[in-house]
A = this chain, B = another copy of it.
């Protein structure tokens, strides 16, 4: 178990100083190195199979104030749903894993690595940001309101995905047009003659995506002269189990309901199963529309009509934003909106 090959080993192999090796390897534009020396250094590094020590780089770079470079980007995935709703897993929603997949490649290609972390309900993720000297942070679905000022003082480029409420003075944002999605889904049902439209959604927390989808739902209803009926709004949790539970409740009173808008596909799948378990057929007895267009939406039976948000695009945009924000600390604090699209499949029946 030998000591790791360091820059000094490369230096002595090439017959130069350590700095020279560093300059060559980093292609430092402030220093001129002769072609011949460069070649010697490069081949020595290759010969010794040299790999730079990132911890040393991180530490060394912190010498220049505020310039610490860990080449590490954190992705924080909050545990939002309570355990008893079956959300025992960080990625219980396939949305997250697709998003992560889409993120990883561009980030790796740019020479960064991804640290994935959940959050302990009480504990903050501030510690990892500081102890690891993260170059950037991507936060999913949670607005870090608790100690916003403190967090901002770290001055770490941060992209908020699927959160509202930040004022754009510090955070970058990547969002779907949730209001529009809620509106489109509901209008789709209304246009097909549905009037008694239930909503199954997660908690309607301020700054969350669900309130906006809810508002879109309300406004579409109003536009068609339908007064939103709070007894048709099931705001529990995002997930299969809650969808099934809501469907069970709805099943007891089906003459009140002709269609359901579930604000996420996994919830919609739950609704589907809950109805089926109660002998209610989709779309014959009730229509259903989801949100997200996860893979299952197209492979379930019947295939789910849904609002497609391009998750891959979202991941790529988040990656692009964080990388841009890291390399240009003055990048304007933009909020990018990802487009969406209604995908008609087989769960909505037209009544007209």
Contact = CB atoms under 8 A, between A and B. Distances in A.
Interface of A: 1, 3-4, 51-56, 58-59, 62, 65-66, 70, 88-92, 94, 96-98, 100-102, 104-105, 108, 113-118, 120, 126-128, 130-133, 155, 240, 269-270, 272-273, 276, 295-296, 299-301, 312
Contact of A89 (B91, B102, B118, B130): B102
Given A4-B62, A88-B312, A128 B113 contact: yes
A116 B104 contact: yes
A290 to B, nearest CB: 13
A276 B132 CA distance: 51
Contacts of A300: 296, 299-301
A4 B130 contact: yes
A238 to B, nearest CB: 14
B127 A117 contact: no
Contacts of A131: 51-54
A104 B118 contact: yes
8 contacts: A1-B66, A51-B127, A55-B133, A89-B102, A91-B101, A108-B117, A113-B128, A273-B301
The 6 closest A-B pairs by CB, nearest first: A97-B97, A89-B101, A55-B58, A90-B101, A91-B97, A51-B130
